[in-house]
Amino acid sequence: MTRPPTPSGGSYPAAGSNYPPTGPVTPGYRDPRSAPPLYPPGREPIPPRRPRRSSPLVAPMLALLGLVLVGGGSLWAMGFLDSTLGDAAAEATATPDTRTALASADPLASGEPDGTADETPEPVIDDIDTAIVEPPSDERANVKGSILFTRSGDIWAVSGTSLQRLTDSDSVQSDAYPVWSPDGKSIYFVRSTKKVTNKTRPGGKYTFYTPDLMRMKPDGSNRKKVFNSLIKDSRGLWFSHVAQPSVSSAGNNIAVVSDGPDGSADEVTLHIIDAKSGRLRKVATPTQPRLGHNDPAFSPDGTRIAFTYNDDNGPDGDPRVAIFTCRTKSNCSVGKVKYLKAGYANPSWSPDGKLLAVEATGGTGRDIVLVSARRGDVRVELTTDGDSFAPE
């Protein structure tokens, strides 16, 4: 870089000399290394402004204003959503007559703009609590026969294209485990009833959910109690567990799993309830299970009961299917039992009684296979996804 000329027209000292000079300096001389740069007139940079000191109250006031705006917006949104949901619930619970009146008064209320009928009917919500949506008639499944199932503590039945609620649960009662009698004239199920004791056990009051075996007609009427699980003895009030009923072909015996007539057994095992007297009897099995029984299923001829025998193998469960053969059709509390190989559970009979659809258990889940009811060997593997349950 070329040095600017000296004010006197001379030259700078040679390189390596004492520079900048330490002696007297010519008047008007500017040291280019220390003096600020020179700018042409009118192009000098604007000097920086001194920062203004804001009031210490400004930041808190702005924060408070932001909170007020956010809170007001939230309250408005909640009020708007509540109004919208309330209108939707009122419209969903309107009776058919109300819907018809609204549709006739306003074409848009029924989804038919300008009076033109919509070819695709909108789903109808019958019950806002359970949100049952009915598909169009041409998309409904046509069930041949009848299917029973449990939903939200009630027994339901579907037949053809109709769906019917058979029981009405409440805060005290709930129903489960529905099964048909073989003749199709009755439905058996387990009703659990909430009962609060009156200082009948040590320590004061207890809340029981007593499971009773019930019977009703296919339309849900004429409900009767077949087995009363509530027990009153010297200890006070108690009850027996009863679950998973299966009815024999003659309708006289009902296989269940229970902890016994007095509710004192350590495990739940196979029992028989007499359909007329309601008497509960334990089925005599030669081997006591470590983890109890479950999934009883009467054979089509009513002479055998297949069930799951829950054993263990060290820390792991080791279920196996067992088949109990009744001494007679009328006496199923005594007989003989045969255990199939381990690794299967939840049996269901084929109509001819020769095969069992079971769950094949394993470390990766459960699959459905068909096994011989006589020898227990696998005939067909139906699934391999490790996520299949409850064959029927």
DSSP string, 291-316: S-EEEEEE-TTSSEEEEEEEEEETTE
Residue 32 has pLDDT above 90, yes or no: no
Give dist(CA 226, CA 274) in Å, integer: 9
Q: pLDDT > 70: what percent of the chain?
A: 65
Q: State both tokens at 211.
A: 């499971």
The closest of 304, 368, 291, 362 to 338, measured between CA atoms, is 304
Q: Which of 177, 131, 134, 121 has its CA nearest to residue 154? A: 177
pLDDT at 247: 96
Q: Strands of 293-298's sheet, edge to edge?
A: 293-298, 304-313, 316-326, 335-342
CA atoms within 13 A on the CB side of 81: 6
pLDDT for position 49: 55
Instruction: Report the chain's terminal Cα–Cα distance, integer Å.
Output: 98
Q: Work out the average pLDDT over 232-244.
A: 84
Determine the average pLDDT of the residues in 134-151: 85
pLDDT tens digits, one per residue of 181-212: 999 999 999 999 998 877 655 667 778 889 99
Check if the beta carbon of residue 290 is closer than 8 Å to that of residue 275. no
Residue 274 pLDDT greater than 90, yes or no: yes
| Mean pLDDT calculated for residue range 138-147 | 85
Does 375 have pLDDT greater than 60?
yes
CB atoms within 10 A of CB 230: 15
Residue 273 neighbours by CB distance under 10 Å? 22
Q: How confident is the model at residue 347 (pLDDT cuts 50, 70, 90)?
A: very high
Are residues 300 and 251 in contact, defined by beta-carbon separation less than 8 angstroms? no
Give me the numbers of helices (H) and strands (E) for the chain, helices first please: 2, 23
| Rounded Cα gap, residues 384 and 73, in angstroms | 54
pLDDT tens digits for 91-122?
444 444 444 443 444 433 434 444 444 444 54
pLDDT above 90 (res 334):
no
DSSP secondary structure, 111-126, as one string: T-GGGPPPSSPPPEES
Q: What is the structure's pLDDT at 87?
A: 55
Burial 45-76 (b: 16+ CB within 10 A, else e): eeeeeeeeeeeeeeeeeeeeeeeeeeeeeeee
pLDDT tens per residue, range 376-388: 889 999 999 999 9
Is the model more confident about 12 or about 204? 204
Residue 76 or 191, more confident = 191
pLDDT in tens, 163-175: 899 999 898 999 9
DSSP annotation of 23: S
